[in-house]
Amino acid sequence: MNNQSASLRDTKLSLGLKLGYGSGAVLDAMVNTTLNIFLLFYATTACGLSAGLAGGALALALVVDAIVEPIIALYSDNFHSRWGRRLPFMLVATPMIMIGMVLLFSLPDTDSQALLFVSLFSCGVLLRVSLSIFNLPFLAAGAEFTDDQAERASIITLRWLISTLGAFITIAIGFSIFFKVEGSIAERQHYAPFAMTLAAIMLLAALTSMHAVRRTLARQHVTAVSRGSLFSTIVEDMRELGRSHSFRVLFGVALLFSTAQGVTQSLGLHANTFFWHITTEQMQLVTLSLGLGLILGAPMAGPIVTRLENKTAVIIGLGGLILMQALPATLKLTGVLTLQGQPLAEALAVIGVFGGILTTIAAIALLTMITNAADEHEHRFGVRREGSYFAGWSFATKAASGLGTFLSGLALQVIDFPVQQSKQLGISLQLPEATSNALGFFYGPGAAVLTVLSALLMIAFHLDRKTHASIMADLQVRRAKALNEGS
């Protein structure tokens, strides 16, 4: 650390610089939205892969990514270059993400379950690992721009808002252009052009974000002196993370929360088609309503997170989300909700807006807590590990399309969802009532159980606002002393 970077972190960033940096969130948003909403339906209904095999392939890809992510994060934290320790990773990963995205939605047109499984797994690994190489340094860089809590909250909120817009654009492009015609969502030929369009948008967003990160090099923390080989550093840092109570709790909460979201989103198209029985146009309304809620939640989250303890804000958000997830399907299964067609779609859309708002409140509070926990880590162990902390968040959010998709695939397997018939008949397939109801149960109250568990685990988090303020005051004294000794 030097005097220039320390003084710069006490100054405000321009709005243009924050927006430029935040554009990098489009990549993670577009990839995960596409995987969460479209991939399981594409692999099973459009390509004919067994639901169990599809879920297994994506879960295995997540396992590979889970092994690689800590290495990426720690290597980024310890990397030395004239472009800093974050930007080189983003540069290398960008073209890999574009290629992986297109390949994943260009699976071979074959009846071979083995070939489809291997192709889905291989392309999934390429896309997930390349996204980790970009996203972990990207997130960590944002935590280094400033030490001011208000500025941090501003960066996180804008990044979340841009991420939400990226997800919203993904859904809009999919349903308004490539899957606009009724029944086209079950036809495989529409998916590769869809992926290519998203890849072009992500390339532009990545270039914009990398330019902003390049302009903030003077603000970023100097890489810590290596404590040995990369392997020994990784082992030591993993021990440190394991000893951090805050990291363990936040990782568990984010994992459960994201997996619950993943189950709901992965089964969304199946539920909309075979449980709610709404049209493609109505599906667009329902799906976009969640994105609208995520956007509306951003300006609401700031004041809530500022006035309440982050822990309280997360629990409030999760509590409301539990009701939004479980209530509609439960009401239909018990015969209370009898709406159909457009009135049903409008009711689900209203619920989706409120669910999106609550999700935003919980997520922004969680992201703020992760940044604060990284400060606690520096206070306790003497080194900054933003990359490692955001690796935990990144892994948890990917669980939405990994573990969530895996559990969704198992659910489809358990209820004997007719994959081959759905490939032949598409949306005209009629499920037995028992199968349709079972689908609705796993999609709604079943997924909500995981959200309940995440809310209960959140109670164990102890790093409150007062404690964090004390930590930051002590860190400022330590940093000033280190600067004086080094000058």
The whole-number average pLDDT for the span 182-189 is: 82
Predicted local confidence at residue 422, as pLDDT = 57
Q: What is the mean pLDDT of residues 101-122?
A: 94
Note the pLDDT tens digit of each residue in 14-71: 888 889 999 999 999 999 889 878 888 899 888 989 888 888 888 888 888 877 887 8
Per-residue pLDDT at 420:
60
C-alpha 360/C-alpha 358 separation (Å) is 5
Which structural domains are found in the chain, ordered by start?
17-215+233-475 (1.20.1250.20)
**CA distance linking residue 251 with residue 377, whole number of Å:** 14
pLDDT of residue 41: 85
Q: Is the pLDDT of residue 139 over 70?
A: yes
User: Distance between CA atoms of 361 and 358, rounded to whole angstroms?
Assistant: 5
Average pLDDT, the chain: 83
| Percent of the chain topping pLDDT 70 | 88
Kindly state the tokens that stand for 371.
């940044």
Tokens of 44: 């099973």
Average pLDDT of the residues in 354-381: 86
> Cα(87)–Cα(184) distance, rounded to whole angstroms?
40
Binned at pLDDT 50, 70 and 90, residue 3 comes out as: very low
Residue 485 banded pLDDT, cuts 50, 70, 90:
low
Which residues fall within 8 angstroms of residue 90, CB to CB, at 6 or more apart? Answer: 24, 133, 134, 137, 138, 206, 209, 210, 213
Return the CA Rg of the chain.
Answer: 22
pLDDT per residue over 266-297, tens digit each? Answer: 788 788 888 888 887 888 888 888 878 888 88
Listed residue (256, 206, 222) closest to 96, CA to CA: 206
The pLDDT value given to residue 161: 87
User: In this predicted structure, what is the pLDDT of residue 219?
Assistant: 67
Lowest mean pLDDT of 277-286, 418-427, 429-438, name the range: 418-427
pLDDT band at 429, cuts 50/70/90?
Answer: low
Provide the pLDDT for residue 257.
Answer: 85
Place of tokens 């969130």: 25
Average pLDDT of the residues in 123-145: 89
Confidence of residue 1 (pLDDT cuts 50, 70, 90): very low
- Answer whether residue 352 shows pLDDT above 60: yes
